């Protein structure tokens, strides 16, 4: 280890860093990158899992570009992102912020908000689908008609289907975001708040000047992670539209569902791989843009 | 002196008292509590219906009454008498626990390194790891299967676990939370002669216990509910995880929802326990005295 | 002394012979199917009988959840991790055959002429290049389930025999509440269930058309017959108001809950209905068309021998396959699982034909067709979308069927290229 002692502090840091990273990097390369590279290669081939792979050049991509369903799916995916992320983050922050200030039955209330996240997505999807049914069995429509309001089609309309599917996704994800926000809020040293209290600063100002800025790493995490999550939405759509997958008329179909369908119903692995590459590219660009915009200045 | 000081202050975990606890009975506080509580009730309603459905006979499952006309525990006895249920439960428990421990350790280590060390290629490694979140698992399942077959990992606990022993999500989370650990503390420890590993484990980690607890909960949950990969990699039904086993209740052309609800209710119990155990660490927060403004 | 030596020698010799002959014949083969309790029991019974008759062969059954069974098999078999005998849905077989993952059944043990004679006509879809690829133990068909209590209440004598009677009967059975919402449907409809088969193989034919060419590679329902069939089907909801797509989430849920007068479904529904408390139901053949045409749709799961099975294992696998597609096996399957025998000799016995539940299904087998799908879920989606266009976008039946035909042809072309 003599060479180690001769290194400068900075260089020692680098050695330590790579030592720590050695096994994980190996893991990610073998378990994640290698298959990803395989998927990229596959996007230029034809394969149905059973036979041999044949080269297809840019065929899969050309087919993708000229497929109107793909463009609908593309726009659906972005709608999920643009509606889902802001709405869920705002709601979850408000809840986390106020929950932080409450102590009576705090643990119970927190568990109540987290419970949806913990329960099986399949079970929850069926429940929500049941709630969306028309009278006589649908909970929401029963409530509406008892108030004299006419029924809403929810899942049965190309217009309201996507928001109807998004709602349980937001609902389930709230627990996750609330917990992360709470962890973030509780990481802020009390001394800041104590100092502000002494100075007689109002709570709005505290929120704006102290809490939110100190919460920034948490916010960055949640924005990027939730965006990835909504762009990758699958479970809710898959389980709620079993009667008309991605429907009605492709109005709820996100990209991951299209990939799943192409891969496991059509068994067209090459085409699915091409769609995966597109998804990957979208996610990468969106995340990089977000990280750049929210970077530490 | 300083490292003892750090440890002492880090160990001064504050009880779950919000800083304005003396305002407990103010009207604003009461309103706040009530709205939060009602919100919680709304959040939980679907789960109440899920529990209720698990006590119903098939012909009643769409009945909107929370208490069924004809309640039964038949669904529970059916699921629990199935000897395989306990096996699935046990498998899921072992796998989820091991992967959680592994992920917490590795993700924290990598997150810490990406946050606190300056070296060339840092951003590249970070973005590369982040990018692994961007490939849907469905597309990775087949390459993993072939890989597992070549290495002889099929049909084993390790075969089910290996894709999950560390996570990009956790790495990202920990990296963000390590940002709030002041560099001064780490410097002080270095001056005191601790090596980098010791600094990470004894100084930095205790300061991010809320994040670690959150991570533990989420990784456990993710592995507890994993379905597609355990299904593909195991042939032996004795190795099924709980979600795979529970799909025996959805057969061709017909899904027995009351059994699915029962299974879901039973599956929630361990995650609830893990949550209840770990959540208090999130709430305790961390107090760092001696911080100069 | 002498006798003791002799005895010991005799025993040793005998033991050696017994052990060696056992060892040289002990073959183990694996059988895979998806998990469904009754099917598992049926196969267990058959394995017991088979092993008794073939002492040198052991059969291991492994089952997987139905969800993603196809993916599981498709991942395992090419990787060489599959079984020796596998149960596949008939629609998946082509891909496996093309990839040489399935060994065709040898003509000496499974002569095509004999099979053609002995099995129901739709099994012929399993023949390729003069050999049979796989054989089913049981087949399914469609029939009309009806709620006898609701029929009694409405004063209806018996199930409808023609399509017109069906509309009449449904009208008498539909109930709405004060606000005009349907609370009980006369007949269930839902393209996501069996109705798309009903439209394809039954209604289109009953209105004078053909859904596809005989090789199922070209769509031929883009004509008046197809439009008329889709029109009649959609009229049930839009004109007569006797049904509602998506009522009570799934058609079979509505029927199980006693909120549907009639319900078209496959024979696999029988087990679940028998277990439903408080439901009084009966079965009738599908109604005949305007000119008396009867048609039905049949689907089946087939047993195939994988190319992994070689030598002794292949011989054992073929023996097992022959056993589980024998008349005896089919009767056991019918009794245990409730699925119809694939051979008329087993199926059309007087006892079976007279059975009030199985009878209509079995009678339907005589004139049933099997659709050769390229991608069943994709082709089902096409008809689902057609209905959604009519219901949600006010599209006419002619246009809807035209669009559907186009979309389906794209799927077929891509597959058969």
Does position C186 have pLDDT exceeding 90, yes or no? yes
Q: What local confidence, expressed as pLDDT, does residue A20 receive? A: 92
Which two three-digit tokens encode residue C129? 């290049």
CB contact (8 A) between residue C277 and residue B59 = yes
Does position C217 have pLDDT exceeding 70, yes or no? yes
Which chain B residues have a beta carbon less than 8 Å from that of A193? 19
Half-sphere exposure of A245 (CA within 13 A, CB side): 19
- As a whole number, the mean pLDDT across chain C is 88
Distance from CA of B139 to the nearest CA of C (A): 12
List the single residue in B29, B134, B261 with the smallest CB-CB distance to A283. Answer: B134
Alpha-carbon gap, residue B195 to B176, rounded angstroms: 23
Which candidate, A165, A85, A162, A159, places its Cα nearest to that of A131? A165
Q: What local confidence, expressed as pLDDT, does residue B288 receive? A: 42
How many Cβ pairs closer than 8 A exist between chain B and C?
Answer: 71
Distance from CA of B203 to the nearest CA of A (A): 15
> Per DSSP, which regions of A180-268 are E strands?
none
CB atoms < 10 A from the CB of B83, how many? 7
Which candidate, C230, C187, C188, C193, places its Cα nearest to that of C209? C230
CB atoms < 10 A from the CB of B258, how many? 22
Alpha-carbon gap, residue C349 to A9, rounded angstroms: 90
Give the best residue of A47, A50, A128, A157 to mutate against chain C (max C CB count within 10 A): A50
Alpha-carbon gap, residue A48 to A264, rounded angstroms: 9
Looking only at the bridges linking them, the beta strands covering C368-369 and C281-284 are unpaired
Give the best residue of A59, A244, A246, A260 to mutate against chain C (max C CB count within 10 A): A244
Q: What local confidence, expressed as pLDDT, does residue A1 receive? A: 64
Alpha-carbon gap, residue C27 to C56, rounded angstroms: 6
Give residue A21's pLDDT band: very low, low, confident or very high (50, 70, 90). Answer: very high
List the single residue in A135, A245, A248 with the smallest CB-CB distance to C392. Answer: A248
Q: What local confidence, expressed as pLDDT, does residue B259 receive? A: 82
Which two three-digit tokens encode residue A265? 């119903």
Angle in degrees, CA B98, B104, B105, rounded to 5: 95
Contacts of A250 (CB under 8 A, 6+ apart): A69, A72, A73, A76
Alpha-carbon gap, residue B219 to B203, rounded angstroms: 23
Alpha-carbon gap, residue C385 to B157, rounded angstroms: 43
C410 touches chain A (CB under 8 A): no
Does position A51 have pLDDT exceeding 50, yes or no? yes
How is C348-407 classified by DSSP, letter by letter? S-HHHHH-TTHHHHHHHHTTEE----SSHHHHHHHHHHHHHHHHHH---HHHHHHHHHHH
Which two three-digit tokens encode residue B68? 């069924």
Q: What are phi and psi of B4, to 5 degrees?
A: -65, -40
Helix, strand, coil distribution of chain C in percent, nearest 5: 50, 20, 30
CB contact (8 A) between residue B253 and residue C266 = yes
Residues 66 through 105 of chain B touching chain A, CB cutoff 8 Å: none
Query: Range with the lowest mean pLDDT among A64-68, A263-267, C408-412?
Result: A263-267
Which chain C residues have a beta carbon less than 8 Å from that of B248? 35, 65
Give residue C324's pLDDT band: very low, low, confident or very high (50, 70, 90). Answer: very high
Which candidate, A103, A179, A183, A113, places its Cα nearest to that of B29? A103
Does position C278 have pLDDT exceeding 50, yes or no? yes
Which chain C residues have a beta carbon less than 8 Å from that of A145? 179, 181
CA dihedral for C74, A67, C383, C175, sign (positive or negative): positive
Angle in degrees, CA A114, A118, A123, rounded to 5: 125
Which chain C residues have a beta carbon less than 8 Å from that of B247? 65-67
Q: What local confidence, expressed as pLDDT, does residue C227 receive? A: 94
Identify whether the C-beta of residue C75 lies closer than 8 Å to the C-beta of residue A49: yes
Which chain B residues have a beta carbon less than 8 Å from that of C36? 251-252
C72 touches chain B (CB under 8 A): yes
Q: What local confidence, expressed as pLDDT, does residue C320 receive? A: 94
List the single residue in B145, B149, B247 with the smallest CB-CB distance to C67. Answer: B247
List the single residue in A48, A135, A264 with the smallest CB-CB distance to C95. Answer: A48
List the single residue in C72, C253, C278 with the smallest CB-CB distance to B232. Answer: C72
Which two three-digit tokens encode residue C131? 């050999």
Distance from CA of A274 to the nearest CA of B (A): 11
Helix, strand, coil distribution of chain B in percent, nearest 5: 75, 0, 25
Query: Range with the lowest mean pLDDT among A78-87, B11-20, C334-343?
Result: B11-20
Contacts of C270 (CB under 8 A, 6+ apart): C338, C357, C358
Identify whether the C-beta of residue C407 lies closer than 8 Å to the C-beta of residue C382: yes
Distance from CA of B222 to the nearest CA of C (A): 20
Which chain C residues have a beta carbon less than 8 Å from that of B62? 248-249, 253, 257
Residue of B nearest to A50 (CA): B142
Using a pLDDT cut of 70, give the percent of chain C over it.
Answer: 94
Alpha-carbon gap, residue B62 to B76, rounded angstroms: 18
Identify whether the C-beta of residue C195 lies closer than 8 Å to the C-beta of residue C189: yes
Give residue C387's pLDDT band: very low, low, confident or very high (50, 70, 90). Answer: very high
Looking only at the bridges linking them, the beta strands covering C127-128 and C340-341 are unpaired
CB contact (8 A) between residue B165 and residue A27 = yes
Residue of A nearest to C375 (CA): A266
Q: What is the pLDDT along chain B (293 residues), one digit of tens a residue?
A: 333 333 333 333 333 444 544 455 678 888 889 999 999 999 999 988 888 888 888 777 777 777 877 788 888 888 888 778 888 889 999 999 999 999 999 999 999 999 999 888 899 999 999 999 888 888 888 889 988 988 989 889 999 999 999 999 999 999 999 988 889 988 899 898 888 899 999 989 998 888 898 899 889 988 888 888 888 888 888 888 888 887 777 666 567 788 888 888 888 888 888 888 887 776 665 444 333 32
A4 touches chain B (CB under 8 A): no
Identify whether the C-beta of residue A156 lies closer than 8 Å to the C-beta of residue C237: no
Residues 136 through 175 of chain B touching chain C, CB cutoff 8 Å: 141-142, 145-146, 149, 154
Distances (CA, A) of B88 to A121, A158, B80, B244, C74: 18, 40, 11, 8, 24
C269 touches chain B (CB under 8 A): yes
Alpha-carbon gap, residue C97 to C134, rounded angstroms: 10
B231 touches chain C (CB under 8 A): yes
Which chain C residues have a beta carbon less than 8 Å from that of B65? none
CB contact (8 A) between residue C248 and residue A133 = yes
Alpha-carbon gap, residue A194 to B181, rounded angstroms: 19
Identify whether the C-beta of residue C253 lies closer than 8 Å to the C-beta of residue C197: no
CB contact (8 A) between residue A157 and residue C392 = yes
Residue with tokens 């024979």, as numbered in its chain: C267
B237 touches chain C (CB under 8 A): yes
Residue with tokens 């000496």, as numbered in its chain: C108
Give the best residue of C246, C378, C379, C384 to mutate against chain A (max A CB count within 10 A): C246
List the single residue in B46, B173, B275 with the smallest CB-CB distance to A118. Answer: B275
Half-sphere exposure of A224 (CA within 13 A, CB side): 26
Helix (H) or strand (E) holding C272: helix C270-275
List the single residue in B60, B154, B251 with the smallest CB-CB distance to C81. Answer: B154
Residues A267-292 have pLDDT tens digits of 899 999 999 999 999 999 999 999 99
CB contact (8 A) between residue C378 and residue A265 = yes
Which chain A residues have a beta carbon less than 8 Å from that of B20? 101, 197
CB contact (8 A) between residue A133 and residue C249 = yes
List the single residue in B117, B243, B271 with the smallest CB-CB distance to A16. Answer: B117
CB contact (8 A) between residue C96 and residue A50 = yes
Using a pLDDT cut of 90, give the percent of chain C over it.
Answer: 60
> Per DSSP, which regions of C25-141 are E strands?
27-34, 57-64, 85-89, 102-103, 127-128, 131-132, 135-140
Distance from CA of C12 to the nearest CA of A (A): 51
Give residue A103's pLDDT band: very low, low, confident or very high (50, 70, 90). Answer: confident
Distance from CA of A172 to the nearest CA of C (A): 22
Half-sphere exposure of C384 (CA within 13 A, CB side): 23
C57: three-class secondary structure by DSSP: strand
Q: What local confidence, expressed as pLDDT, does residue A199 receive? A: 83
CB contact (8 A) between residue C388 and residue A245 = no
- Candidate ranges B217-226, C49-58, C71-80; pick with highest mean pLDDT: C49-58
Distance from CA of B40 to the nearest CA of A (A): 5
ipTM, two decimals, is 0.83
Residue with tokens 């097992």, as numbered in its chain: C320
Distance from CA of A158 to the nearest CA of C (A): 8
Identify whether the C-beta of residue B36 lies closer than 8 Å to the C-beta of residue A102: yes
Residues A237-274 have pLDDT tens digits of 988 898 888 879 999 999 999 998 998 888 899 999 99
Q: What is the DSSP letter of A188?
A: S
Alpha-carbon gap, residue A94 to B200, rounded angstroms: 33
CB contact (8 A) between residue B134 and residue A279 = yes
Residue with tokens 């502000």, as numbered in its chain: A196
- As a whole number, the mean pLDDT across chain A is 89
List the single residue in A137, A158, A247 with the smallest CB-CB distance to C248. Answer: A137
How is B208-275 classified by DSSP, letter by letter? GHHHHHHHHHHHHHHHHT--HHHHHH---GGG--HHHHHGGGEETTEE-HHHHHHHHHHHHHHHHHHH
User: Which chains have 3 or more CB–CB distances shorter than 8 Å to chain B?
Assistant: A, C
Alpha-carbon gap, residue B51 to C95, rounded angstroms: 43
Distance of CA A190 to the CA centre of its chain: 31
């Amino acid at each position: 280890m003599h060479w180690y002692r001769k290194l400068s502090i900075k260089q020692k840091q680098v050695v330590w860093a790579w030592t720590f990273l050695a096994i994980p990097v190996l893991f990610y390369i073998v378990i994640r990158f290698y298959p990803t590279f395989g998927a990229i290669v596959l996007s230029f081939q034809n394969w149905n899992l059973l036979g041999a792979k044949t080269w297809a050049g840019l065929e899969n991509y050309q087919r993708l570009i000229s497929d109107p369903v793909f463009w609908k799916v593309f726009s659906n995916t972005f709608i999920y992102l643009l509606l889902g992320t802001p709405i869920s983050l705002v709601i979850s922050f408000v809840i986390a912020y106020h929950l932080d200030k409450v102590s009576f039955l705090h643990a119970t209330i927190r568990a109540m908000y987290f419970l949806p996240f913990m329960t099986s997505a399949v079970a929850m999807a069926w429940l929500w689908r049941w709630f969306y049914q028309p009278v006589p069995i649908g909970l929401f429509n029963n409530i509406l008609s008892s108030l004299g309001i006419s029924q809403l089609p929810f899942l049965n309309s190309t217009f309201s289907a996507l928001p109807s599917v998004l709602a349980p996704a937001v609902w389930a994800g709230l627990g996750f975001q609330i917990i992360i926000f709470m962890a973030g809020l509780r990481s802020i040293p009390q001394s800041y708040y104590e100092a502000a209290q002494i100075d007689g600063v109002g709570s709005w100002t505290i929120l704006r000047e102290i809490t939110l800025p100190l919460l920034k790493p948490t916010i960055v995490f949640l924005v990027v992670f939730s965006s990835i999550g909504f762009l990758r939405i699958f479970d809710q759509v898959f389980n709620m539209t079993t009667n008309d997958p991605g429907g009605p008329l492709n109005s709820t179909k996100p990209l991951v569902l299209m990939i799943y369908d192409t891969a496991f119903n059509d068994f067209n692995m090459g085409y699915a791989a091409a769609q995966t590459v597109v998804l990957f590219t979208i996610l990468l660009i969106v995340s990089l843009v977000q990280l750049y915009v929210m970077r530490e200045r | 002196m300083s490292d003892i000081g750090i440890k002492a202050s880090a160990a001064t975990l504050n009880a779950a008292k919000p800083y304005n606890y003396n305002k407990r009975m103010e009207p604003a506080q009461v309103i706040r509590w009530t709205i939060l509580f009602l919100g919680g009730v709304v959040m939980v309603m679907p789960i109440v219906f899920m529990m209720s459905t698990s006590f119903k006979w098939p012909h009643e499952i769409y009945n909107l009454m929370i208490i069924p006309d004809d309640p039964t525990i038949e669904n529970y006895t059916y699921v629990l008498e199935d000897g395989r249920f306990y096996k699935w439960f046990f498998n899921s428990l072992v796998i989820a626990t091991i992967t959680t421990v592994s992920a917490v350790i590795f993700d924290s280590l990598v997150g810490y390194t990406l946050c606190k060390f300056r070296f060339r290629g840092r951003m590249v490694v970070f973005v590369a790891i982040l990018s692994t979140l961007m490939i849907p698992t469905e597309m990775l399942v087949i390459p993993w299967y072939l890989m597992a077959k070549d290495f002889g990992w099929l049909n084993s606990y390790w075969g089910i676990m290996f894709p999950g022993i560390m996570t990009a999500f956790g790495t990202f989370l920990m990296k963000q939370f390590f940002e709030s650990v002041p560099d001064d503390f780490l410097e002080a420890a270095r001056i005191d002669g601790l090596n980098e590993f010791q600094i990470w484990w004894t100084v930095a980690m205790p300061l991010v216990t809320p994040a670690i607890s959150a991570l533990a909960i989420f990784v456990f949950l993710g592995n507890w509910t994993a379905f597609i990969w355990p299904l593909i990699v195991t042939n032996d039904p004795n190795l099924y995880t709980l979600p795979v086993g529970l799909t025996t209740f959805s057969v061709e052309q017909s899904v027995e929802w009351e059994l699915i609800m029962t299974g879901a209710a039973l599956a929630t119990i361990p995650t609830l326990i893990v949550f209840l155990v770990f959540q208090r660490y999130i709430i305790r927060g961390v107090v760092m005295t001696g911080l100069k403004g | 002394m002498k006798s003791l030596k002799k005895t010991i020698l005799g025993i040793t010799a005998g033991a050696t012979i017994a052990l060696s002959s056992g060892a040289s014949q002990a073959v183990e083969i694996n059988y895979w199917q998806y998990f469904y309790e009754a099917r598992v029991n049926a196969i267990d019974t058959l394995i017991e009988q088979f092993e008794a008759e073939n002492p040198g062969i052991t059969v291991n059954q492994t089952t997987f959840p139905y969800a993603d069974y196809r993916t599981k098999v498709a991942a395992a078999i090419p990787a060489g991790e599959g079984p020796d005998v596998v149960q596949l849905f008939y629609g998946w077989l082509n891909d496996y055959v093309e990839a040489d993952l399935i060994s065709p059944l040898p003509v000496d043990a499974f002569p095509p002429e004999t099979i053609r004679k002995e099995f129901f006509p739709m099994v012929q879809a399993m023949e390729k290049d003069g050999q049979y690829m796989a054989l089913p133990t049981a087949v399914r068909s469609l029939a009309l389930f009806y709620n006898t209590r609701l029929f009694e209440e409405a004063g209806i004598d018996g199930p409808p025999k023609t399509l017109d009677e069906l509309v009449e009967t449904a009208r008498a059975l539909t109930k709405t509440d004060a606000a005009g919402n349907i609370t009980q449907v006369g007949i269930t409809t839902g393209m996501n269930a069996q109705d798309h088969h009903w439209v394809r193989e039954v209604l289109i034919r009953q209105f004078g058309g053909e859904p596809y060419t005989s090789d199922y590679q070209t769509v031929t329902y883009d004509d008046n017959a197809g439009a008329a069939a889709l029109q009649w089907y959609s009229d049930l909801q839009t004109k007569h108001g006797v049904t509602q797509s998506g009522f009570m989430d799934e058609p079979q849920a509505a029927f199980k809950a006693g909120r549907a007068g009639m319900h078209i479904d496959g024979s696999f529904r029988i087990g679940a209905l028998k277990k439903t408390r408080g439901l009084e139901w009966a079965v009738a053949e599908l109604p005949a068309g305007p000119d008396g045409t009867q048609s039905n749709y049949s689907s089946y799961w087939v047993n195939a021998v994988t190319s992994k099975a070689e030598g002794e294992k292949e011989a054992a696998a073929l023996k097992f396959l022959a056993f589980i597609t024998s008349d005896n096996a089919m009767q056991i399957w019918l009794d245990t699982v409730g699925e119809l025998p694939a051979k008329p000799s087993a199926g059309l016995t007087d006892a079976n034909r007279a059975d009030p539940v199985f009878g209509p299904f079995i009678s339907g087998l005589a004139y049933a067709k099997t659709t050769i799908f390229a991608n069943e879920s994709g082709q089902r989606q096409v008809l689902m979308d057609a209905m959604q266009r009519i219901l949600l976008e006010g599209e006419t039946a002619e246009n809807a069927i035209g669009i559907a035909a186009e979309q389906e042809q794209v799927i077929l072309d891509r597959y058969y290229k």
